Homo-oligomer: A and B are copies of this chain.
Amino acid sequence: MTTASTPISRDFASDNTAGAHPAVMAALTRANTGTSPAYGNDPWTSRIEDKFSKLFDHDVAVALVATGTAANALAIASVTPPWGAVLTHSESHVSDDECGAPEFFADGAKLVSLVGIGNKLDPDTLQERLSRMPDGVLRQVQPACLSITQATEAGQVYTPAQIKALADIAHARGMMVHMDGARFANAIAHLGCTPAQATWHSGVDILTFGGTKNGAWAAEAVIFFDKAKARQLPWRAKRAGQILSKGRFLAAQWDALLENDLWLSLARHANTMARLLGTGLATVPGLRLGWEVQANEVFALMPQPVWQKLEAVGYPLRDWSSQFLPAQVQLGTGERLIRLVCSFATTPEDVAALIAAAAQREPVSH
């Protein structure tokens, strides 16, 4: 991915800290030729629905936007009335990390929080909550959308069967199923199934497919598997200031990612790096993993001496302890839950360096 001379990176804080993949830059350079109609009427954007339709083996409606927050909020708002409820994990990105964007875009709709291990929802919890939201009772918001995250914020991946079990319950109540796929590529890389199997085969109605964490500058796709449900989408996107005038800029990034399944190669690489990292860290004395490494995130329960020496040598660590802890975990004194994220740009050398630093017996001097 990078040449031998690339300096070691100590940045595992997020998959958003990398820049754009060279293929994305090359696609932008190629697209930067001549004039083309503005506001998505350019040839690049015009071709993108076909490309996604092929990828998903299904006729889809697509909107390209610049941020994951916009993508999620537009998806949810398109199928949730103001008096609708969006059922989602209490620590999902839409619920906890978007400053109320879904509520804003959906004109004051309510997000109803559910709990679940590894930030995954399970059918019983969903069913139980829905049983307390009867149809047509005017004093309560009405279930309109189920939003799940694939892979979750804890790096866990739903199997197609798990998705289907949730989707069946939602559909039985007339709800739409939204998948926040900011790390959808990493989930597919883990599952080894087709994008179709993990989405509409399993009952997903709308996917926000993330490109930004996976090699783009800023390129997210909102994908509707039922085109009829996408009618509100362009209007909502326009009035949210989400339709770029030079639309080819967004489409060209996706061109690069879709070409020869680059999106999948990059995600596989990130996942591989994360697995390497998790395996290596698990050998550090006193260090435990919070969850199995499935996608590109490693959650490490680090004793104080470990995270201190990592910080001492310049690793910017993100303490996740107050965000969410694995079930049954009690942090020891000084212990912290540290999130480490690998991206397309992470190298085996970066991973090895981090493991070595964590495994060192004595705090390094600096």
Binding site for B on A (CB under 8 A): 7, 9, 11, 13-14, 16-20, 25, 28-29, 31-39, 65-71, 73-74, 81-83, 96-101, 103-111, 113, 131-132, 138-142, 212-213, 217-218, 232, 234-236, 238-246, 248-249, 316, 322-323, 345
Contact = CB atoms under 8 A, between A and B. Distances in A.
Nearest to A343: B35
A24 B87 CA distance: 42
B345 A35 contact: yes
Contacts of A106: 108
**Copies of the polypeptide in the assembly:** 4
Nearest to A345: B35
A238 B83 contact: yes
Given A9-B35, A13-B38, A71-B241, 8 more contacts: A19-B33, A19-B35, A68-B245, A70-B241, A83-B235, A99-B139, A99-B238, A107-B107
A9 B35 CA distance: 8
Contacts of A9: 34-35
26 contacts: A9-B34, A11-B35, A17-B36, A17-B37, A18-B246, A19-B31, A19-B32, A19-B34, A19-B248, A66-B244, A69-B243, A70-B241, A82-B100, A82-B104, A82-B236, A97-B139, A98-B238, A98-B241, A99-B139, A99-B239, A101-B241, A103-B109, A132-B322, A139-B238, A218-B245, A241-B242
A236 B83 contact: yes
A212 B83 contact: no
